[in-house]
Amino acid sequence: MLNTAQAQTGWSIVDKRLLPGDLVSVKTDGSWMSGATRWFEQRRGEDPSWASHSGIIDTVASGHETLVEALWKVTQRPLSAYAGHSRVVVMRHPVLEMSARFNIRDAAIRHLGQSYGWWKLFLHAAGLKSAIHSENRPICSQLAALAYQSAGVRFGLDADEAQPDDLLDFAAMNNWPVIWCDSVETLAELEEIYHAEDGVYANDLLKRYGYPPPDQ
C-alpha cells in the first residue's frame, strides 16, 4: 500500500520536492550500526526492517536542504550528507497545514545540542522501551516522533517507544505519500516490502493500522 504517486528519485531533484516537517528515513547498507538497529527492530513474521535512522526536514532552499537529526548530538546538517553511501526516503503527512509542518520542524529544533541518549538504545534492545520517560537526550526516532506529536500526530505508539521502522511502517500504511527517494532501487525495495498482495508483513500491517487510513 505504499503511496508512490508523487515519488521522484535522484539527488539532482531533491530541492524541488521537500517541505519543512517531512519525515526522513535512512538505511545504510554495510554499516554494523544500521544492521544491528534493523535486526533489533524486526518483529516476528516481519520482512527485514528497512529504516535504521529517522530525521525531520528543516530548511528547504535550493542547494541547502537540511534535516534535524539525533546523531552524537541533535544537529542540523545537509540531507546530501547521505548521498553516495545511504538509502534515503522522504515521506509527507497527507493532510497537515503548512503551519503544522513548521510546528513539527520547530519542535525538533528545540532539541538542538542535546546529547544522544545512548542508554535508551539499551532499553529498546532489552525490550524495556516502555521504561523510557524522558524527552531530553532523544534518540533519532524519538526526536521525530516527539516533533510530530507537537502537531497532534502519533505513530500508533508512545513517542518514547518509537523506533525508526515504526515510523516508516506507520507512514507507509497510512497513505503518506513518498515524496522523494535517493534512487529507483530504493523505491523498488520499499514497494516490495509494503506491497500487500504478496507481502505477509504488509498484510499484518494492514490489520494493525487499519485501512483505509485514519486522518492521522
pLDDT digits (tens, 9 = 90+) for 29-48: 765 455 455 445 555 555 56
Please state, for a pLDDT cut of 90, what percent of the chain lies above it. Answer: 45
Q: Residue 186: helix, strand or coil by DSSP?
A: helix
Q: Residue 46: helix, strand or coil by DSSP?
A: coil
* pLDDT tens, residue by residue, 54-90: 999 998 765 678 999 998 899 999 999 999 999 999 9
Query: For the range 59-68, what are the long-range contacts, defined as Cβ-Cβ under 8 Å and sequence gap of 24 or more?
Result: 59/20, 60/15, 60/18, 60/19, 60/20, 61/15, 62/15, 63/15, 65/14, 65/15, 65/18, 67/24, 68/105, 68/108, 68/109, 68/111, 68/112, 68/143, 68/147
* pLDDT tens, residue by residue, 168-209: 989 988 889 999 999 999 999 999 888 756 555 555 666 555
Q: What is the mean pLDDT of residues 153-165?
A: 84
